Amino acid sequence: MEKSLSSLKCLVVICYVASFVAISFQESTPCDRREYTTGLVCICNVTYCDYLDDPTPTNISEFVIVSTSKAGLRFETTTGVLNASESISVLNYNQSTDAEGVGRAAARKVSLVVDREQRLQNITGFGGSFTGSVSYILDKLPQELQDHLYKSFYSSSGIGFNLMRTPIGGCDFDLEAWAYNELPENDTALSNFTKLDPREEKRIEQIKRLKLVSNVENLRIKAAAWSSPPWMKTNNAWTRWSRLRPEYYQTWADYHLRWLELWEESGLPIWAVSTGNEPSNGVIFMSFAKFMSLGWTPRKQGIWLYENFGPTIRSKYKDMLIFGNDDQRYSFPFWFKLMNSSRPNSIDYLDGLTVHFYWDEILRPTFIDIAHRAMPDKIMLVTESCIGDKPWQKAAPILGSWKRAEKYARAFLQDFQHNFNGWIDWNIVLDEEGGPNYVKNFVDAPVIANMTNLVEVYKQPIFYIMGHFSKFVPEGSVRIAAEATNVNVDTVAFLRPDGSVAIIVFNSGYASVEVNISDKNSGSIKFQIPPKSIHTVVYN
C-alpha cells in the first residue's frame, strides 16, 4: 500500500512538472489572425497563443528586425547581414517582393546615426496593472487561458514585462468602491485591518501563478491607494471634493504600512509604494471623477510625506521605493516645489516621480523636463495609460485599432526621448465593453477577453506596440544617442545588458521608407520598411 501511494505521489509530481515545463518553455508560434472591420487581432485560446523566442542574433555579423504593421505583421522576424551593399526588405503580410514601394526603390530615405558611447538614462522596466477588474476577468477564464495571458505579458517568449501596479484596496477598476477598515469609524488603531480581504487574497493567488508559469525573473510590484475609508476624509464619501482629515494623517500612513506587511507575509513583497493615485481628482476634477479618490494639495501632501508617510514606511522598509504624484503632466512643474515649500526636504523621501499619460497629446514634454532638471536623480515612470477615457474617444475597446496603437508608439518614443526610465500600462485585460467596473468607466486594453464564450482572448495592436519596447529593452538597459536625418521615422535606441543594441524605428507615414543605420562600433544596416509599421532592430 505504501509503495502504491508512493508511486501515485511520484506520478502526480511527474505530471505536474511535465505540465509546468510545457507551459514554461514555449517555442515561437505565429499570430492566429482575425480581421474585424476595425482592424486585426491575434487570438489566444486554451490550446494556442502566439509567442516569440529571443531573436537576438548569435553571429556578430548579423542583425534581426522584428516587425509589426497595420497591414498584418505581428512580431515577424527578418534577418540580414551587417555592412551589406544591398538593402533588405521587410515585407508586409501577404506581400510579394515585387510589391510597389518594397523590394524596389523606397519612396523616402532616412539615415540613423547611433552613438553607443553617449549614454543617457537607465531602464527600470515595463509592466501592466493588476486591478480588481483584471482579477475578476481572469477568475472566469479557464486556467490554461489564464496561463497564456500571464506568459504573454511576463515571460521571455511573451513581451517580457517585469513591473506591475496594483491598488491598495479598491480602485476605479473594481466591482465596487471599497477600502480596509471601513468600520468601525474613527478607529485610529485600525482594529479591523488584521488580514487581507478575500478579493486581494485571490489577486495574490493569481499573481503567484503568474510568477510560476512565466518564470519572470524579477517581478517588481508597485502599489498605490485610491482612497482611504470615507471616515478619514473631510467629505466622508468615496469621491468628489475631499481631503484627508489632519487627525488621521498618521492613521493613513499606518494603513499603508499594515497593507505592505500583510502582502509581505503572503509571499509577495512590494517593491514600491506611491503617495496616492491622482490627488488632483479630489481638488480640481471632483465634478468629473465619479470613482474613488482622495484629494491632496501639494503643500498638505508635503507635510504628510515628511511627518508621517515617509518616516512610517522607512521605519520598517529601508529599501522600499517611494514614488510621488501619480498624476498628469500638468502638475509636474509646480507640485514638488510646493511640497518642499511646506516642509523643506520632504521630497528627499521620494525615490521617483510617476505620471499618467492621459493628457500627453495636449501637454508637451516640457512639463516633465522642468521636473527632471530640478530632480535628475529621481526615477521617472509612467504608471497608468489607456485610451477611451476622453469625451471625444469611443469609451470601449476597438478591436484591431491601429490608430490607438500608434498613439502608444508616439507616447513611448516621446517619453523615452525625454528621460523616462519605464512604463506601466493600465489593466492588462478587460472585457468587450472595456470593463467591468462600478462607474462604467469603460476604456481599451492591450488584451480583450471574450466574456461570452470564455474560451478566447484578443491581443490588440497596442499589445505588440508595447512589446517592441518591453521585449527587447530589458531592465538594466541604457538609452544611447540615435539621431535621424529627417522626420520620416521616429526612433530611440538602447544598449542592452548583454552588450547588444536594440533600436525601435516607427514609420507612421503612408509610404515605405529606406533606413540606413550607422554604428561606428558595428557598421551599417540597410533595410526597407512598409507604411504604418514599427520595427525593433537588434544587433551585437
In this structure, are 497 and 463 located in the same domain?
Answer: no
* Residue 280 within any structural domain of the chain: yes
pLDDT tens-digit series, residues 349-372: 999 999 999 988 888 899 999 999
- Position 386 pLDDT exceeds 50: yes
Instruction: Give the list of residues 6+ apart from residue 44 with CB closer than 8 angstroms, or none.
Output: 32, 50, 145, 148, 149, 152, 456, 457, 458, 459
In this structure, are 395 and 489 located in the same domain?
Answer: no
In this structure, are 282 and 338 located in the same domain?
Answer: yes
Read off the pLDDT band of 390 (50, 70, 90).
Answer: confident
User: Helices 132-140 & 198-214, crossing angle to 10 degrees?
Assistant: 70
Q: How far apart are CA 239 and CA 406, in angstroms?
A: 33
* Residue 26 within any structural domain of the chain: no
In this structure, what CATH number is given to the domain that contains residue 339? 3.20.20.80
Choose among 375, 23, 353, 342: nearest CA to 210: 23
In this structure, are 252 and 339 located in the same domain?
Answer: yes
* Residue 31 within any structural domain of the chain: no
* Residue 38 within any structural domain of the chain: no
In this structure, are 465 and 510 located in the same domain?
Answer: no
Q: How far apart are CA 459 and CA 511, in angstroms?
A: 26
pLDDT tens-digit series, residues 144-172: 999 999 999 999 999 999 999 999 999 99
In this structure, are 425 and 294 located in the same domain?
Answer: yes
* Residue 466 within any structural domain of the chain: yes
Instruction: Give the residue-averaged pLDDT of 231-251.
Output: 96
Its domain, for residue 390, covers 124-472
In this structure, are 88 and 147 located in the same domain?
Answer: no
In this structure, are 281 and 156 located in the same domain?
Answer: yes
195-217 core/surface letters (b: 16 or more CB in 10 A; e: else): ebbebbebbbebbeebbebbebe
Q: For 107, what's the count of Cα atoms within 13 Å in the CB-facing half-sphere?
A: 13
* Residue 422 within any structural domain of the chain: yes
* Residue 435 within any structural domain of the chain: yes
In this structure, are 463 and 390 located in the same domain?
Answer: yes
Strands annotated E in 303-404: 321-327, 352-356, 379-384
- Position 14 pLDDT exceeds 90: no
In this structure, are 382 and 506 located in the same domain?
Answer: no
- Position 288 pLDDT exceeds 70: no
Report the number of distinct structural domains present in the chain: 2
Q: Which of 436, 456, 472 is the last residue of a domain?
A: 472
Judge if pTM exceeds 0.85. Answer: yes
pLDDT of residue 360: 83
In this structure, are 93 and 130 located in the same domain?
Answer: no
* Residue 52 within any structural domain of the chain: no
Q: Which of 414, 445, 472 is the last residue of a domain?
A: 472
Share of the chain above pLDDT 70, in %: 92
In this structure, are 146 and 291 located in the same domain?
Answer: yes
Q: Which of 472, 494, 515 is the last residue of a domain?
A: 472
